[in-house]
Amino acid sequence: MFHKEGFKIIIIALVIVIGLSLLANVFIEHPTIRGGVIISLIILLLLILQFFRNPKRNFALNANQVLSSVDGKVVVIEEVFEKEYFKDKRIQVSVFMSPINVHVTRYPVGGTVTYSKYHPGKYLVAWHPKASEENERTTVVVKNDVIGEVLFRQIAGALAKRIVNYAEEGKEVEQATDSGFIKFGSRVDIFLPLDAKIKVELNQKVKGGISIIAEK
């Protein structure tokens, strides 16, 4: 199963791979070189397919829990000053996504979207300290009746050239449903209340909509 954001790219890639493979079959006489070119094209297509995969998952929804928005590895757990929306201290949990991870972004909590904003910016590597403030990004805040307001930020990386954000202010959203997509590698920052009980550790691998980031 593939995410809708990948349909166009997958079709274009498929046409290009088939076309170049036919050309290689016609114009490259050496069988080893011809075979190498065709295999390389197939590998490229498989990488694109796996990047846009959207596996079915059984979500265990809980209003007392904050779920990971994305698949990846926890790279930051620290108390920071969040200056865009809250303008006070929060606990930041950041998840880095490599190009081989599922890149669907999910709502970490259910509730009402109280803030949604896109910021154009740079394309520093996703783990760069200034990526959260200087890279292309979107910031979304969801107000949950139990936990309060939770902010999560999609951040483009060196390879990510397009962030898709579905969140609309005033919209009621369900935990773990699609909130967007980041194409070709990046990270997501989640900002939590200071009294949230963190349930992950640094370098822990997490799954979007499945892994529990924090509890109230």
Active-site residue list: 186
CB 17 within 8 A of CB 42: yes
User: Looking up tokens 């829990």, which residue turns up?
Assistant: 65
**Structure-block tokens of residue 52:** 């846009």
Partners of 186 in the β-ladder: 97, 156
Q: How far is CA 93 from CA 22, 26, 198, 199, in A?
A: 48, 53, 9, 10
**Structure-block tokens of residue 36:** 């190498």
Q: What is the DSSP letter of 135?
A: B
The CA distance from 171 to 141, in Å, is 11
Q: How far is CA 90 from CA 67, 87, 105, 136, in A?
A: 17, 9, 21, 22
CB 104 within 8 A of CB 207: no
Centre a 10 Å sphere on the Cβ of residue 169 and count the other Cβ atoms it contains: 12
